[in-house]
A and B are shown apart, each in its own frame.
Chain A
Amino acid sequence: MSGLALQNITKQFGTFTAVKNVSLTVPHGTFVCLLGPSGCGKTTLMRMIAGLDLPTEGAIKLDDADITRVPTHKRDLGMVFQSLALFPHLTVGENIAYSLRIRGVGKEDQKKRVDELLSMIHLSGYADRPVAKLSGGQRQRVAIARALAISPKLFLLDEPLSALDAKLREAMQVELRQLQQRLGITTIVVTHDQREAMTMADTVVVMNSGEIRQAAAPVEIYRRPADTFVADFIGMTNLFDFTADSAGRTNALGSSIEGLQVPGGLSKGVLSVRPEDVHLTAPGHGAIAGRVTFVRDLGGTIETFVEAGGKQIVAVSMPHARPDVTVGQDVGIKLSPDACVVLKS
């Protein structure tokens, strides 16, 4: 298979297991985001792909060649560090040309490639500036250009945008994704920001405590989370327990949910319903009974907090479908069976 393959990777630091038996394939040309809370092992996994850490067990293959023990400098990869790690003693141009200089590329060719990359990152004419004189966003671009100078097989980015302010970060996410699509380069990004992952990735890999919880397309991850962790970690969701009888009829929040059939044999579990799938109606008529506790009007969206069956349920609606409710009012909650994701508790 052409691409990157991680096979049963485990990494232990002393008695602490940072990565547990992780397997993942990344076909060439795809954009993969490793997403998870801090300490979930995503950075360790990336460092092993880069060769900066050795896996305790398992194999890393690139285009079917085992590179598990190949030292970093022989892997032909480009990596952007969280700290960016631009060389402070070199100018912008020298930073970008570093990998070419190390490989003995001629001065003329170096200059040509640097100019090419600088125009790609919209910083033409910056070659002779010291890196200390650049703004955060510019340094970010230089780090990206430096990593791409040799046209690597693998492009790795460790929390690349975390140092930027929110607005610039959103803009850079789009730019990075467009750049990746234009170059068709196999890219792996580590991030804890789910918006970032949803914006950029072909495949989002959600990790927690050293394990992969789900690896799928962003919309799939959002619509069909594999477990409660993924459902809770990606976006907002309402999680609540349900029970089911032998016929598969479900009961949750003190009422039965019409039309929802759970897989046979499952007597209890957790339902995940996205706030935009929670519809408020008048009480009665088979709707789940609840009482409005708070309304948060954010202008673009309106969040209505409803207490039902001892749980707090959040409904999100757009201004044109503003629910006509006030705090303390009794309402009904309608859950469409399609919108309910059945998870094991």
Chain B
Amino acid sequence: MRREAPQKLSDYGPLLFPAGMLIVFFVIPFATMIAVSFFKRDPAGFYSTAFVFDNYARFLSLFFGKVLGFSLFLAIAVAICCVLLAVPFTYLLSRSSRRTQVVWLVGLLSVLSLSEVIIGFAWSTLFSRTAGITNLLVAIGLMSQPVALNPSFGAVLTAMVYQALPYTVLVLYPALVRLDPTLTEAARTLGASPITSFFTVVVPALRNTIMATLIMVFIFALGSYLLPQILGRPQHWTLSVLITDQAIYQSNMPFAAAMAVFLVLVTLGLVGLTLLAGRKGEAA
């Protein structure tokens, strides 16, 4: 549906409410955060108004660089794992009977209702030595004795993939359902085996969707701060964990704000680069 462009000031009326909400709950807090990031910390109280770059300067150290690097690596790993698992799964789901689809989608939606805390503690139990899944492996004779699987990078990754997978599937699902099933049939009549047709037709036809999903999961995973603490060692802590730590436990709001702003900038930069690469690939 195409409508006329707004003519009078009153035509913008319907935008007032969302614009107001956006300003009150997003623009103002974000602006405050940017402002605070330049403030000076007051050890006695909270912070005092100033305009210093100390907070950003402090951030430019090897330690925080490493944490930032790990955060980005973890988020990328989660995004790639999620997409690798979700694309074939959702493809098969979209080709199965309606009943099967409903059952799976309801199951996935119920995972969404779990809070990060519950997911974290559930997995920490599953990965524990006393009650974890290794006991099952011992029971069927694959292992000689149960071991603790956490804290470890694998545990953090597993739980984060578990948490992000439903979102991934739900984002991919509409695109895969809309994908014309005769495309793969055509590929098969042209001599492609089912697997070849999946990689030469389904995946390339969904290129943009897959790209968008990667970015979404990446950003989603970047914000995770509970699971790395529950299931990881301190070296598996992400920048989000440090931001929380600085803001809540160290009462260093200006430094936490500076880190948050920096994280936002790096994220935007990466997303921009990805989109640019995607556009170049399309032009070629």
Contacts and interface: CB of A to CB of B under 8 A. Distances in A.
Nearest to B196: A102
A101 to B, nearest CB: 8
A149 B189 CA distance: 12
A85 B183 contact: yes
Interface stretch (A76-84, A251-259, A284-292): A76-84
A85 B200 contact: no
A146 B190 contact: yes
Given A89-B207, A102-B200, A81 B185 contact: yes
Interface string A62-86: 0000000001111111110111010
B189 A147 contact: yes
A98 B190 CA distance: 7
Contacts of B270: none
Nearest to A150: B191
A51 B188 CA distance: 9
Interface residues of A, number: 29
A187 to B, nearest CB: 14
A99 B207 contact: no
A132 B100 CA distance: 34
Interface in B140-187: 180, 182-183, 185-187
Contacts of A50: 189
B134 to A, nearest CB: 41
A171 to B, nearest CB: 24
A83 B192 CA distance: 19
Interface string B196-222: 110011001101000000000000000
Contact of A85 (B186, B193, B194, B207): B186
Contacts of A156: 189
Contacts of A146: 190
A71 B185 CA distance: 11
Residue with the greatest number of chain A CB neighbours at <10 A, chosen from B190, B193, B205, B207: B190
A47 to B, nearest CB: 8
B187 A89 contact: no
A81 B182 contact: yes
Contacts of B191: 73-74, 76, 99, 102-103, 150
A88 interface: yes
A294 interface: no
A269 to B, nearest CB: 44
Given A83-B182, A102-B196, A89 B205 contact: yes
Contacts of B193: 71, 73
Contacts of A82: 182
Interface residues of B, number: 20
B205 A87 contact: yes
Contacts of A72: 185, 188-189
A81 B204 contact: no
Tell me which of B180, B189, B191 has the highest count of chain A C-beta atoms within 10 A of its own C-beta. B189
A52 interface: yes
Contacts of B186: 79, 81, 85, 87
Contacts of A87: 183, 186-187, 201, 204-205
Contacts of A99: 190-191
A153 to B, nearest CB: 12
A309 B143 CA distance: 91
A69 B224 CA distance: 51
A108 to B, nearest CB: 19
A108 B140 CA distance: 57
Interface in A189-243: none
Contacts of A149: 190
Contacts of B192: 73, 98, 102
Contacts of B201: 87
A52 B188 contact: yes
B196 A77 contact: no
Interface in A143-191: 146-147, 149-150, 156
B204 A98 contact: no
Contacts of A89: 204-205, 207
A98 to B, nearest CB: 5
B188 A73 contact: yes
Nearest to A156: B189
Contacts of B204: 87, 89-90
B205 A88 contact: yes
B114 to A, nearest CB: 37
A72 B193 CA distance: 8
Contacts of A78: 189-190
Nearest to B188: A72
B180 to A, nearest CB: 6
Contacts of B196: 73, 102
7 contacts: A72-B185, A73-B188, A83-B182, A98-B187, A98-B200, A102-B200, A147-B189
Given A81-B185, A98-B187, 11 more contacts: A51-B188, A72-B185, A73-B193, A78-B189, A85-B182, A85-B185, A85-B186, A90-B204, A98-B200, A146-B190, A147-B189
Q: Which 3 A-B pairs have the closest CB atoms?
A: A85-B186, A99-B190, A79-B189
